[in-house]
Amino acid sequence: MNLTLKIWRQVSPAKKGKMVSYHVTDVSPDMSFLEMLDVLNEKLILDGDDPIAFDHDCREGICGSCGLMIDGVAHGPEQATVCQLHMRSFSDGDVIDIEPWRSGGFPVVKDLVVDRSAFDRIISAGGFISAPTGTAPEAHATPVPKKDSDAAFDAATCIGCGACVAACPNGSAMLFTASKVAHLGLLPQGQPERDERVLRMVGQQDAEDFGGCSNIGECSAVCPKGISMETISRLNHDLLGALRAGAVPAS
């Protein structure tokens, strides 16, 4: 099939970007979306043009590197990462808009590549259980009810791709933050730091130019791991509980 791609091109963070049209021909429906971009890039290189920069790594939907706004939907028409999107989801003659994640917290590095280190700083602020190596008790010392453990796992599957922020009309990182708060807060090991964790993480999130959550649900709808809005409720619950307990917020 033949396609027209309108791709955001931006040389560097400080420069202004614009949408540029490209035509790709003989696209196989079995190609992944990123492979289609690979083919385009090889052609651009041979033509002496600058290839399109985009982040990708594992190409099996787990590393969270790839992330593109495809026709206005984070990760495109399937609820999976871009690397798992195949061209059979499109038809001959389609015009496809491809943009980077857009958020104050995710400045563009080049073309479709954004800087998501804000997510790392949110984790750094409190998204952990303090258990220095060597301090761990025997693994079976504390049984964890399967229900809690499974719910914690569901939240822990977040791959940090940033689709939630990209899709959110408010540019909020709440689903990302909440998935970690919920994961650790559901486990007995996570209790001692539970109050402090949520306050610090939300504080850092606010400091990173992400928006506030208004419970719209776009995030969960595009999340390739299907993280539930329930995690956000848990975060809210934890945060208000922490404040009632007299903790001092961090933002």
Partner 1 sequence: MRVALHEVCHDRFTWVSRVSWAYRGAVATVTTQQAPRTTRKPGKFSNSVVKKAVMAVTGIIMILYLIAHMIGNLHAFQGAEEFNGYSHWIRTIGEPAVPEQTTLWIIRIVLLVSVVAHFWAAISLWRQARRARPVPYATKKRVQQSFASRTVRWGGLILALFIIWHILDLTFGVVNPAGTDTTPYDRLIASFSNIPITLFYVVSMILLGLHLRHGIFAATQTLGQTNKRRERAVNGIAYAVSAVITLGFILVPLSIAFGLID
Partner 2 sequence: MPLELFTVGEPIADTKAPTDVPVPQMWDERKFRARLVNPANRRRLSVIVVGTGLAGGSAAATLAEAGYRVKNFWFQDSPRRAHSVAAQGGINAAKNYRNDGDSVHRLFYDTVKGGDFRSRESNSYRLAEVSAAIIDQAVAQGVPFAREYGGLLDNRSFGGAQVSRTFYARGQTGQQLLYGAYQALERQIGLGNVETHGRTEMLDLVVVDGRARGIVVRDLITGQISTHLADAVVLASGGYSNVFYLSTNAKGSNVTAAWRAHKRGALFANPCYTQIHPTCIPVSGDYQSKLTLMSESLRNDGRVWVPKERGDDRDPRQIPEDERDYFLERKYPAFGNLVPRDIASRQAKNVCDEGRGVGPTGLGVYLDFSDAIERLGRSTIESKYGNLFDMYNRITGEDAYETGMRIYPAVHYTMGGLWVDYDLESNIPGLFVIGEANFSDQGANRLGASALMQGLADGYFVLPNTLANYLADGPFPKVAADHPSVVEAETAVRAQTEKLLSINGTRTVASFHRELGRLMWDLCGMERSDEGLRKALDRIPEIKHEFWTNVKVSGEQGVFNQNLEHAGRVADFIELAELMCVDALHRNESCGGHFRAESQTPEGEALRDDENFAYVAAWEYTPDGTPPVLHREALEYEYIHLAQRSYK
The greatest distance separating any two alpha carbons of the chain, rounded to the nearest whole angstrom, comes to 63
Task: Compute CA distances 203 → 33, 110, 124, whole Å.
Answer: 36, 28, 12
The binder of partner 1 chosen from 63, 170, 187, 189 (CB under 8 A): 170
Comparing CB distances to partner 2, the nearer of 216 and 250 is: 250
Binding-site string for partner 1 from residue 225 to residue 244, where x marks contact by CB under 8 A and - marks none:
---xxx-xxxxxxxxxx-x-
Applying CB under 8 A, does 233 fall inside the site for partner 2? no
Which of partner 2, partner 1, none interacts with 211 (beta carbon under 5 to 8 A by kind)? partner 1
The binder of partner 1 chosen from 29, 145, 212, 226 (CB under 8 A): 212
Applying CB under 8 A, does 205 fall inside the site for partner 1? yes
Q: How far is the CB of 166 from partner 1 (least distance, A)?
A: 9
Burial degree of 248 (CB within 10 A; 0-12, 13-18, 19+): exposed
Q: Side-chain half-sphere of 4: how many Cα atoms within 13 Å?
A: 7
Q: How far is the CB of 32 from partner 1 (least distance, A)?
A: 21
Using the contact rule CB under 8 A, the part of the chain among 68-76, 166-174, 187-195, 235-243 near partner 2 is 187-195
Applying CB under 8 A, does 125 fall inside the site for partner 2? yes
Applying CB under 8 A, does 32 fall inside the site for partner 2? yes
d(CA 33, CA 82): 7
Comparing CB distances to partner 2, the nearer of 20 and 131 is: 131
Comparing CB distances to partner 2, the nearer of 85 and 246 is: 85
Applying CB under 8 A, does 30 fall inside the site for partner 2? yes
Residue matched to tokens 């909440």: 178
Using the contact rule CB under 8 A, the part of the chain among 20-28, 33-41, 55-63, 105-113 near partner 1 is 105-113
- In the range 41-100, which residues lie near partner 2 by CB under 8 A? 41-42, 44-46, 48-51, 53, 55-60, 62-65, 78, 80, 84, 86, 88
